Structure 1
Amino acid sequence: MLSFLSVRALPALGLAALSLVPPAAGAATLAGNAALTSDYVWRGTTQTQGDFATQAGLKASAANGLYVSAWGSNVEFAPETHASSELDLVAGWSGALAQDWALDANLTHYRYPSSAVDLDWTELGATLTWKSNVWAQLGWSSDALATHHTGTYAQLGARMPLGEAFRLEGAVGHYWLDDAYGQRYSHMQLGGVWAFKAPFELRLTWHDTDRAARDLFPDLAGSRVEAAFQAFF
């Protein structure tokens, strides 16, 4: 996610993404997002030691459902890693399977350009969505969290619109890391979003993890609240 990849670099990322969409796929559309958040929480654990994060991304999509995207954020890991940035590069396909069902299948490469050690890894994932408001996600990697061991992640989530400007969102996830750490853990999150003026939103999310997560990541897991100002364009 960016450490921070300068916002000025985002147009270049968009052009690169567009160049990866096959010409036969038709004209590509470009979308972006940006956020300022009080904490970068990923699968229940903080990636910034509870500090603020600045995040941004671009996505280029073709008419046939193929897409590529890049997303970045600052991070703060153990001091010896010198990791201060994360960049996620994604290639995938998304589209409708039936009237109420949609699928997003992708390959995500997590990169940490500033790290002094090799933290890069790749995950294959898919998300099945029902009526745009309920989803089931599955991810698998042969090198989960750059451990050279397999890991599988699953999440169930839902959102509930409350009028035009408000919505509630919740999810529960489970991460099987038995091969890497001899452990697996669960987490949950519940939040609210206020879309006060398009394309801007305010989000408040409560995160919590089980004891296994606290044992695995004692300084990173547990209960925490995240507040974010975000925009989609």
Structure 2
Amino acid sequence: MEFTIVLTKGNHGYGTQMSLFPETENGWQQVEQGRIYWQPDFFTSDVSRQLFERLYQTLPWEQGSIKMYGKSIPQPRLHAFCGDVPYRYSGLTLQPSAWTKELSQIKQLVEEAAGQSFNTVLVNLYRDGQDSMGWHKDNEKELGTHPMIASVSFGATRRFVLRHCQSKTKLEFLLKEGALLIMAGELQEYWQHSVPKTTKISQSRINLTFRNVIG
């Protein structure tokens, strides 16, 4: 049996359904085997639009490929990777570009909210609603046990869905420009997440996921 909780921006920043989970200190929410911090207005709309344009114009975008059923298939999105160390996932090894001024500034603000430092950022460009991210966990050994993943969104609003691997409970966020979502605790062990395709979106979205890669 699947149980879905839809989280949207309400008068206090959270959808009323969020009260199903107890709030912990500093705005963190305790969910089923994990913790989530969600601030839909972490950056203002004006700042978000400026950062979107700057990142869109200056980052070294490329399209990676993944192997499925013995075939090499282009990923349904573009990406850029910046940081201090390489990152390996889904059979890919990403060599980092240098931190840009904008990425460094965003990282500093995100670290203050998260209470943790990060040494890499994977930036995904979803060109329209047909670009997507399939179900997966961010549980590579390079991230260590129970990693913290901080996600910042600019551009078009997209659905972000979490699904518990055992209970099948779903949490759905509508991530608009300027939103910050942080996943922590045991979340990457027990939950998968995805950015589904949609025919309703024609605008682009840039998403930054900050990680601390330990080798």
Higher relative contact order (CA 8 A, sep 6+): 2
TM-score (norm 1): 0.26
Which has the larger helix fraction?
2
TM-score (norm 2): 0.28
Greater CA radius of gyration, 1 or 2? 1
Which has the larger strand fraction?
1
